[in-house]
């Protein structure tokens, strides 16, 4: 009887096994166990980042020569498999969106009775 593939597998980079040189399967499985249920994009971002860390950076270079001078441009993430892994991790990071953080606007020691302080009270808060 075969077991269905875990859902995170579709978002994972190459895994070893079955692909030699991929992210170790047990490492991907631990990342998924810790993050998949709460935030699949965080899970994928961590897997792709971990995979990129196993690769050697390959510079993405383009050169332009005008005859009088030559200019070489290099991408920040590099090229090849490393650059693709970094780009995929960044894409999943971007999909997570802005994180909201609750902010307490009043002093908990001085209850405001459900109303914000007026401008002349702000400077007098303890």
Among 122, 125, 59, 61, which residue's Cα sits nearest to residue 86? 59
Contacts of 125 (CB under 8 A, 6+ apart): 107, 110, 117
The single-letter DSSP state of residue 100 is P
* CA dihedral sign of residues 93, 97, 101, 102: negative
Residue 117 maps to a domain: no
Q: What is the mean pLDDT of residues 88-117?
A: 67
The residue range of the domain holding 34 is 7-97
Domain contains 45: yes
Tens-place pLDDT, residues 24-54 = 999 999 999 999 999 999 999 999 999 999 9
pLDDT value, residue 28: 96
Q: What is the pLDDT of residues 62-100, one digit of tens each?
A: 677 777 777 766 655 567 898 899 999 999 999 887 655
* Mean pLDDT along residues 87-116: 68
pTM: 0.64
- Euclidean distance between CA atoms 82 and 49, whole angstroms: 10
Integer CA distances (angstroms), 73 to 60, 61, 62, 64, in order = 8, 6, 5, 8
Nearest to 91 by CA among 18, 20, 41: 41
Total structural domains in the chain? 1
Task: Decide if 76 is inside a domain.
Answer: yes
Q: What's residue 109's pLDDT?
A: 56
Asked, for residue 122, whether it belongs to a domain, the answer is no
Q: Is residue 104 part of a domain?
A: no
User: Does residue 75 form part of some domain?
Assistant: yes
Q: What angle do CA 21, 23, 25 make, to 5 degrees?
A: 115
């Amino acid at each position: 009887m075969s077991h269905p593939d875990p859902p995170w597998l579709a978002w994972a980079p190459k895994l070893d096994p079955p692909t030699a040189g991929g992210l170790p399967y047990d490492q991907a499985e631990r990342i998924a166990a810790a993050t998949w249920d709460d935030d699949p994009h965080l899970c994928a971002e961590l897997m792709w980042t971990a995979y990129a860390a196993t690769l050697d950076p390959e510079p993405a270079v383009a050169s332009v020569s005008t005859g009088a001078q030559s200019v070489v441009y290099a991408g920040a993430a590099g090229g090849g498999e490393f650059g693709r892994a970094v780009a995929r991790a960044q894409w999943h990071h971007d999909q997570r969106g802005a994180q909201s953080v609750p902010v307490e606007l009043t002093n908990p020691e001085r209850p405001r009775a459900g109303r914000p302080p007026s401008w002349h009270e702000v400077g007098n808060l303890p």
